[in-house]
Structure 1
Amino acid sequence: MKIKLFYILLLFVLCSCSNLPEKFVNVSEGMQYISDPDNGFVVDTILPNEVKVQVQLIPASLIQKTNTAGKQKYFSIQFSYKGNELLAQLPREEYGSYVQLFSFGMDRVIKLITADGKEFQADMVSYQPTYSMGKSNELTVVFDQHISKDQNVTLIVDEFGLQLGTLKFFIDKSRINYSPTIDQL
């Protein structure tokens, strides 16, 4: 048993020390890399009620398509239920209220908290309704504040009415500050 534990810890240490690519040929290659859950930019959870929430950190250089990206931090948060849009599963009388909330009110319930407890509210949350044509309801969240480079952060989505509870997603400091160079912008 001790040998197995040793190998598991060794594997963990080796994986956590892996270097991130410094550059990509194009934005598409970078997006493909960060979309692979094994690379640490995607965190998801399936709640007991079968709602899946997936958070993806997107480096600013891939969104802004520049090699001198600013301090902005970009996240994609996707909500789905059994492979379909979460909001599309709601009763018709609630659907419009939640589309309104996703479009104009989610900035009040999404925040980042650093390891030392400092909180940052989302500066912008964008939602594009897909009218039951997608596999999830997706929010694009932007934090436009200076966040310390030497601290891990937790992305928090407070309860917003669907009884999902407060959702917490740990983001490693090496990922939150990652800014690769793109050869072909």
Structure 2
Amino acid sequence: MDDAAGHGNTTTPAVIVVMGVSGSGKSTVASLLAGRLGWEFEDGDDFHPAANVEKMQAGTPLTDEDRWPWLAAIAAWIDRVRAEGRHGVVTCSGLKRAYREILVGDRPDVRLVYLKGDRALIGRRMAARHGHFMPTSLLDSQFRTLQEPAPDEAPLVVSIGGTPQAIVAEIVAAVTGRAAS
């Protein structure tokens, strides 16, 4: 579990963006990660305008036009955390490179963590969760939209096959250069 270029990036970031398709474990992993690091946590889903949530609840995939204000709100949170000298972890599907450019862009102190898993595993996880507005029926749309991060984006790619605690330990070791305790 290194970045896609095959080397570890051990400069501690100001903000970690945990990305992946719906059901990949972003909220679970990111909240545990923030707790382990003692950093602020925000769930990217909370930045969605009500109209986006209503569309997803109705089983309608979001368009780029739906996503731009949502991504801008997450980027504003990232910039606030950085400007105030704090550290944070935020979730965002980040399905397209253009979306990740809004979040990471020219911010060298923002690190992208991609939670990678196959459709079958994620589908099972989505079917087992309750109380989330994203229906399992939209998972295929998420995978069709997904543009996996390229090596030049320096993502930390982490398999979701392990437990959330093991995934967090891998991320902590990679972003801090030390083993998680």
Instruction: Give TM-score scaled by structure 2 length.
Output: 0.27
Instruction: Give TM-score scaled by structure 1 length.
Output: 0.26
Rg larger for: 1
Higher normalized helix content (fraction of residues): 2
Using CA pairs below 8 Å that are at least 6 residues apart, which structure has the higher relative contact order?
A: 2
